[in-house]
Amino acid sequence: MTNRQQELGDTSPEEFRRQLHELADWIADFRQNLGSLRVAPNEKPGAIMSALASKPPEEGEPFEKILSDVDRLIVPGMVHWSHPMFLGYFGWTTTAPAILGEIITAPLNVNAMTWRTCPAATELETVVIDWLRDWIGLSEQFDGVIYDTASVGIMHALAVAREEVAPETRKLGLSDRGLPRLRVYTSDQAHSSAEKAAIALGLGEENVQRVPTDANFCMDTVALRQMIVRDGRESLKPLAVIATVGTTSTASVDPVPEIVRICRENTMWLHIDGAYGAGFAILPETKWLTNGWREADSIVVNPHKSLFVPLDFSVLYVRDLERLRRVFTLVPEYLRGDTVEVQKNYMDYGIQLGRRFRALKAWVIFRSFGRDEMAARLREFVRLANLFADWIKRDNRFELGAPVSMGVVCFRFVGSVAGGVEGGPTSAPSATIEDQLDQLNSEVVERINASGRAYLTQTKLRGRTVMRIGLGNVLTAEEHLRAAWEMIQETVTKL
């Protein structure tokens, strides 16, 4: 062999071992010092790109140089979702076991498209799906598949619903068949993935009808019934209801048992979006969350939101999973030899062929924590959320924007006296005052985020801007929450 040929291939084992040790230290240091970093950068768009090489490298560079650029250019340009002061979105986290799981996954380089292309990945996927089903108390009539996200899960669920209402859509498509317009109903608090799915499936964004919610942001089922009747009169065909267990803004929970009845009466598919909330069903004290689930057709759970698995990891459960397989199975000739066994081939359960080995990281995390430790952590998030809400209630410049649910608290600065800003009315603030308060609440979030000391989100409830925190990060403790609360109080005082 020539020298050049010897140089091809991969890094030498000795060199690779040295790099891995260096990386292990880097990861451990990063986790240890995370709390001292800015939570979010305050750069202008494009600043990071302008510091990166614009031309691709002609020659290879040493790992040390690449890693030092990660430190210099990438880490400071990140929003650190794992930072203890990151309280945005659902406060999602990574954990040490999760990082170990990701590291083990990398060298295995699996493609879990069929059982034969990786028996262990396929069978572990089934095991992890079963464990999760067991933990959240879902009936064994449900079986599942791991996707990247809930948005992809809902799209697959609605594709099956569509096939049941409009048979042979898989084969013939929707056009030129004289089919009625198909309607999907979901609350005005539900996630926009409903519309995205309707766009992808050719159902049309406008055919996702938003049902009003009650004072607690839960779907108003009287309104739902009325909308179905109204659509029926106009020869529009009800296809599905998406009920949410843990809505994006307030983590409110729709009345699933009543929605089940409506779906059965109207022969509609019931999809439960438990992307955030379903994980909390592992707590015995919140088992009520699962009321009505066994009657659903599909349910999506995102362990990457509430069960300590880092992005991405979402499970779609379908009652009688064969219904999903029938819509998506398609075996091209070149895969026929790899699909002869009767075992599950997960490529049959979705549009994706090549599939990452997502089950492994979840398996490492679930085994490292066990149900008890996961439940204890979720319980702590609920405790912290309620504690934060108590602080808000005790400061009359603020009010809660919605009932506290799971790890989510929405709140609003309302002025120096309850009910209005200084000089304004105390009972019914006028539109201009409310507009000013909107701006102020938004400004508080912007300032705190720009400070790099904490990260919150803002949302709109009934048209008004509220601040919002989501607890879900294993590193966030009471001291961090208190520091964030003091920061909020200081910022409104300054403003």
DSSP run (H or E) holding 313: none
Candidate segments 269-277, 367-375, 392-400, 422-430, binder of ligand PLP by CB under 6 A: 269-277
189 in contact with ligand PLP (CB under 6 A): no
Amino acid identity, residue 296? A
User: Do 63 and 26 contact (CB within 8 A), yes or no?
Assistant: no
Select from 138, 145, 150, 256 the one that contacts ligand PLP (CB under 6 A).
150
Closest CB to ligand PLP among residues 118, 157: 157
How many of the chain's residues bind ligand PLP (CB under 6 A)? 14
State which of residues 209, 250, 290, 314 lies at the interface with ligand PLP (CB under 6 A): 314
- For 83-168, strand residue ranges (E) read 142-147
CB within 8 Å of 216: residues ≥ 6 apart: 252, 402, 403
**Catalytic residue among 334, 346, 349, 455, which?**
334
Contact flag: residue 362 with ligand PLP (CB under 6 A)? no
Torsion 228-230-232-237 (CA) sign: negative
CA–CA dist 186, 198 (Å, integer): 12
Residue among 83, 191, 319, 377 that touches ligand PLP (CB under 6 A): 191
Cβ nearer to ligand PLP, comparing 169 with 457: 457
**Amino acid at site 315:** V
Kindly tell me which of 169 and 302 has the beta carbon lying closer to ligand PLP.
Answer: 302
Q: Would you count residue 209 as binding ligand PLP (CB under 6 A)?
A: no
Region near ligand PLP per CB under 6 A, out of 21-29, 96-104, 268-276, 405-413: 268-276
Question: Which residues have CB under 8 Å from 307's CB, separation 6+?
Answer: 132, 279, 282, 301, 365, 374
* Residue closer to ligand PLP, measured from CB, 169 or 193: 193
Do residues 305 and 315 touch, judged by C-beta distance below 8 A? Answer: no
Interface with ligand PLP, residue 93, by CB under 6 A: no
273 prior amide bond cis, ω within 30 = no
Q: Report if residue 193 touches ligand PLP, rule: CB under 6 A.
A: yes
The reply to whether 302 sits near ligand PLP by the rule CB under 6 A is: yes
Tokens of 187: 């609350």
Q: Which residues 367-396 are close enough to bind ligand PLP by CB under 6 A?
A: none
- 314/339 with CB nearer ligand PLP: 314
- Binding-site member from 248, 252, 405, 457 for ligand PLP (CB under 6 A): 248
Report the residue number, 125 or 195, with the smaller CB distance to ligand PLP. Answer: 195
Residue 89 or 328: the one with the smaller Cβ distance to ligand PLP is 89
Near ligand PLP by CB under 6 A: residue from 276, 366, 369, 388: 276
The answer to the question of residue 213 lying near ligand PLP (CB under 6 A) is no
Neighbours of 293 (CB within 10 A): 25
The Cα 395–Cα 414 span in angstroms is 10
**What is the nearest approach in angstroms of ligand PLP to the Cβ of residue 150?**
4
CB of 355 to ligand PLP, least distance (A): 16
Residue among 195, 254, 273, 297 that touches ligand PLP (CB under 6 A): 273
Query: Could you say which of 122, 126, 149, 252 contacts ligand PLP (CB under 6 A)?
Result: 149
Tokens 């405790």 sit on residue: 383
Q: How many CB atoms lie within 10 A of CB 322?
A: 12
CB of 452 to ligand PLP, least distance (A): 24
- Determine which residue in the list 95, 244, 306, 465 makes contact with ligand PLP, applying CB under 6 A: 244
In Å, how far are 184, 265, 281, 297, 463 from 270, measured between CA atoms? Answer: 10, 12, 19, 5, 28
Binding residue (CB under 6 A) for ligand PLP from 105, 151, 213, 339: 151
Give Cβ neighbours of residue 332 (< 8 Å, ≥ 6 apart): none
- Closest separation in Å from C-beta 115 to ligand PLP: 26
Provide the token pair at 406: 């799971």
C-alpha span between 348 and 339 (Å, rounded): 10
Find the helix or strand (DSSP H, E) in which 252 lies.
none
334 among known catalytic residues:
yes
* CA–CA gap between residue 299 and residue 129 (Å, rounded): 13
CB of 251 to ligand PLP, least distance (A): 8
Minimum separation from the CB atom of position 191 to ligand PLP (A): 4
Question: Does position 186 bind ligand PLP by CB under 6 A?
Answer: no
* Shortest separation between residue 400's beta carbon and ligand PLP, angstroms: 20
Is there a contact between 375 and 308 (Cβ–Cβ < 8 Å)?
Answer: no
Distance CA 453, CA 335 (A): 52
In angstroms, how far is CA 170 from the centroid of its own chain?
28
CA distances from residue 350 to 153, 165, 321, 355, 443 in whole angstroms, order as listed: 9, 19, 11, 10, 43
Least separation in angstroms between residue 167's CB and ligand PLP is: 28
> Which residues are known catalytic residues?
334
Q: Residues interacting with ligand PLP, by CB under 6 A?
A: 149-151, 191, 193, 244, 246-248, 273, 275-276, 302, 314
